[in-house]
Amino acid sequence: MPKNKLSLMFESIFKRDVLSGNTPKPELTVDVHAHVLPQLDDGPVDIEQSIEIIKEMYAMGYRKIIATPHVMAGYYNNAPEDILQSLHILKTVLKRRNITMELEAAAEYYLEDELFRLVECHKVLTFGGSKKYLLFEASFVTKASYILEAVIKIKQAGYTPVLAHPERYVSLNDLEVINRLSFNGALFQVNIGSLTGYYSKQAQELAELLISKKLVAFLGSDCHSIAQLESIKHAFKLKTFKEATQLNILNNTLMEKKITVFA
């Protein structure tokens, strides 16, 4: 069939963008776990550090970041309004400096009884709009039964539980346990850095197992500093990263404005 004028025009734009190297990385444009809001947790100490990280992530192909500061009673008492105020300030500065990264905020909730209270009275920040993804983490030695209890309670309250970096928990080094959490509605967010062995050999192996069993819903940078982005860049080159991005992960479904190769 002969090509019409419009398709030839798109083809030439496509070729030009690919050749110029301006095409954003199509495999991962949204980060769902990043400590980029200043002075709320163990992430950036000021707004300049936040901007430095965001600019570097833009260069890596990211176009949207869900900022997820820690919430932990007695350590990081970040109420939704504190987080949203910090987001507003950072977004204002980004706009003033013509940095086009899309930015939203949720949180990384620490698994403790206080989390159950926050969930019951709906004082939590989630991402994904009506999907209400709630990101939570546990201590690295938390019992699997406590994680399961959290999954059930979070779900009962009307949220979608997303367990941060499951590969890093000692008690989850067991496929049967992982499957039980998944069966009860847990989604898993694997840290990209885990694929390089950045955290530990055991975390790397469990991350690889989760990928091979197609149990990864989200990939996250869990970035706290610009230095940490080096391990993410390294992971981008790995076969396991490519495999993970081919699993219908949900990151890019969170992009409101669809990025195409013509953009």
Within 8 A by CB and 6+ apart from 28, the residues are 61, 62, 219, 245, 251, 252
Quick one: which of 7, 25, 13, 90 has its CA closest to 232? 25
The answer to whether 62 and 28 have CB atoms below 8 angstroms apart is yes
Q: Which stretch binds Fe ion (CB under 5 A): 121-129, 208-216, 221-229, 248-256?
A: 221-229
Q: Which is nearer to Fe ion, 68 or 240 (CB)?
A: 68
> Could you count the other beta carbons within 10 Å of the beta carbon of residue 114?
15
Q: Which is nearer to Fe ion, 109 or 159 (CB)?
A: 109
Contacting residue, 31, 112, 208, 222, with Fe ion by CB under 5 A = 222
- The CB-of-224 to Fe ion minimum distance in angstroms stands at 7
Angle between helix axes 113-120 and 144-156 (nearest 10 degrees) is 10
Place of tokens 């496929």: 175
Q: Which stretch binds Fe ion (CB under 5 A): 100-108, 113-121, 147-155, 181-189?
A: 100-108
The yes or no reply on residue 41 touching Fe ion (CB under 5 A) is no
Q: Which is nearer to Fe ion, 60 or 261 (CB)?
A: 60
> Could you count the other beta carbons within 10 Å of the beta carbon of residue 235?
22
Q: Which is nearer to Fe ion, 42 or 81 (CB)?
A: 42
The closest residue (CB) to Fe ion is 222
The yes or no reply on residue 108 touching Fe ion (CB under 5 A) is yes
201 phi and psi, to 5 degrees? Answer: -65, -40
Q: Which stretch binds Fe ion (CB under 5 A): 55-63, 108-116, 185-193, 240-248?
A: 108-116
Q: Which is nearer to Fe ion, 41 or 208 (CB)?
A: 41
Tokens describing residue 95: 């706009």
Residues that bind Fe ion (CB under 5 A): 108, 222
